[in-house]
Structure 1
Amino acid sequence: MIRLLLSLLLMIPVLLFAQSKEELVAQIKDKPTEIATIRLIQRAGGYDPDYKELKALFKGLDKKVRKSTEGKIFERYLDALKKSSVGKKAPGITQLDLRGEPYSLQDLKGKYVLVDFWASWCPPCRAENPNLVATYAEFKDKNFEILGVSLDREFGPWKKAIEDDKLTWKHISDLQYWNSGAAQTYGIKAIPQNVLVNPEGIIIAKNIHGEALKNKLREVLK
């Protein structure tokens, strides 16, 4: 209870100063010559950013801002979003599993694969895990797999969370936190996030959870 109260207290300043997407877009358009505006574009993208929308906002910035170091970094992020969008070939991922051996998304070719980006330290991820466990139990024998990609920093907590939450699918990580190579390749700035890949390696959905994920799997795994 104390932890919950502290969390709520910490959230109050964020809630008080939260801006709507419309307000953020207006601010972005009003300050095209400021490098800090790049961060506003990131915020406007929210949890599930739309590549085309962010690209249009970015193109509206002054050329000097777009060509700055921050601008070039943001362009790489936009490129990652584009390459990992629905309809695109899923970018390759190879990291170490719990045994310290390399494992790749490519190793699951021929199956429907949910690439799940999460971490042991992420409360929303841990809250979502029971839903994933139920989903896996229902579909694991129907050509469906999950590949857990962790943004953890330490091996111990990562392994313990997998055991505690009974996550019986394959798990990989480079233990680089937000510098995770896989997260950067997929433009991941918030977790939990996921992509659903078909047997041909094409992304067919992004960021679907709970019943929405089950319904999508029922649709494709007929």
Structure 2
Amino acid sequence: MSSVRATRPSPLSCTRRLSLGVAAFAMSWMAMSGACAQTAARPAATAAQAAPQVASLPAIEGKTIEGAPFKLESLKGKVVLVMFWSTNCAVCRDKMPELRSNYQGWTGKPFELVAVNTDTRVQDFLDYERIISATVPLKQRFVQLWTGETGYRDNIGKHAQLPSALLIDKTGKVVQRYVGRIPPEAWDSIAELL
């Protein structure tokens, strides 16, 4: 009869297993939330490569969430930041208070913010907007469009990652593209273009 001796795993092997488990969890979580940017802004060259190819003079038209007709070309003469986002993107939702605050700060300046929602269900967008309309002052609200609206058209194409944004100068030309969080330098660029 052989004797079986119980051995206790070394603390080092337990630590390795725990590290591997944490790494596996983190990788699966990042894969599940891959539609959203989870990091700070990428360097401009990388962001431009990852951004969809956009005409130098982008065109967007449709109806705002309030039902008013909208054409991006009507904003010529203003600096415009167009942000594509979704309610199921945590980074997108997290960015909204900063966007509203900056938008309010440039009241009276030739600046406009246009948020284009890419949700597949309009109800998700409307539910979010109902909360916003009850909690956010009018002076912090900006143009909101939904890509699923029957009259919505653009020449921008699909976005592999959200949020993504375009900075457009007063002539209507795209001067910068951002994928992921809008970097602080973007607000400096807007100030310079004003």
TM-score tier after normalising by the smaller chain length: 0.5 to 0.7
Q: What is the rounded CA distance, in whole Å, between the counterparts of 2:106 and 2:148 in structure 1?
A: 29
SS of equivalent residue, structure 2 residue 82: strand
- Structure 1 140/205 Cα, relative in aligned 2: closer, same or farther at 3 Å? farther
Gaps of 5+ in 2: 1-22, 32-45
Give yes or no for the alignment of 1:213 onto 2:186.
yes
Is the contact made by 1:147 and 1:171 (CA closer than 8 Å) also made in structure 2? yes
User: Which residue matches 2:27?
Assistant: 12
> CA deviation digits over 1:155-183, x for unaligned, max 9?
3321332353436001111327xxx854x
Report the structure, 1 or 2, having the larger helix content: 1
Query: Which residue of 196, 201, 204 maps to 2:167?
Result: 196
Tell me, yes or no, if the aligned pair for 1:131 and 1:210 is still in contact at 8 Å: no
Aligned to 2:101: 134
Q: How far is 1:185 from its partner?
A: 2.3
User: Offset at 1:194?
Assistant: 0.5
Q: Distance in 2 between matches of 1:144 and 1:127?
A: 22
1:48 corresponds to which residue? 47
* Structure 1, gaps ≥5 residues long: 1-7, 17-46, 52-77
TM-score by length of 1: 0.56
Question: How far apart, CA to CA, are the structure 2 residues paired with 1:162 and 1:113?
Answer: 21
What amino acid sits opposite 2:87 in the alignment?
Answer: S
Q: Is the 8 A contact 2:78 2:112 kept in 1?
A: yes
**Within 2, Cα distance between the matches of 1:158 and 1:11?**
28
For residue 85 of structure 2, what is the amino acid of its counterpart? W
Deviations 1:107-161 (A, max 9, x none): 2222111111011121110011111111101113211001111101223321332
Alpha-carbon displacement from aligned partner over 1:53-92 (angstroms, at most 9, x marks no partner): xxxxxxxxxxxxxxxxxxxxxxxxx9x61x44xxx22x21
Percent identity, aligned pairs only, is 20
Question: CA RMSD for the aligned pairs?
Answer: 3.2
Aligned length: 149
Q: Relative contact order: is structure 1 or structure 2 higher (C-alpha 8 Å, sep ≥ 6)? A: 2
Mapped partners of 1:170, 1:151: distance in 2: 14
- Partner Cα distance (1:116, 1:15) in 2: 22
Aligned to 2:146: 173
* Secondary structure of 1:120's aligned partner: coil
Structure 1 contact 117–151 (Cα < 8 Å) conserved: yes
Q: Distance in 2 between matches of 1:206 and 1:193?
A: 8
Looking at structure 2, the residues matched to 9 and 104 of structure 1 have their Cα atoms a distance apart, in angstroms, of 46
Compared CA separation, residues 49 and 210, structure 1 to 2 (3 A): closer
Q: Assess if the C-alpha contact under 8 Å between 2:79 and 2:169 holds in 1.
A: yes
* 1:49 Cα deviation from its structure 2 partner: 4.7
Give yes or no for contact 1:95–1:172 (8 Å, CA) kept in 2.
yes
What is the letter of the counterpart of residue 47 of structure 2? D
Query: Shift of residue 197 of structure 1?
Result: 0.7
Q: In 2 relative to 1, CA 15–188 (structure 1 residues): closer, same or farther, beyond 3 Å?
A: closer
CA drift of 1:192 comes to 0.6
Aligned equivalent of 2:118: 151
Q: Which has the larger radius of gyration?
A: 2
Are the counterparts in 2 of residues 96 and 174 from structure 1 also a CA contact under 8 Å?
Answer: no
Give me the whole-angstrom Cα distance separating, in 1, the residues matched to 2:177 and 2:169. Answer: 12
- Rate the CA distance shift 1:155–1:15 in 2: closer, same or farther, 3 A: closer
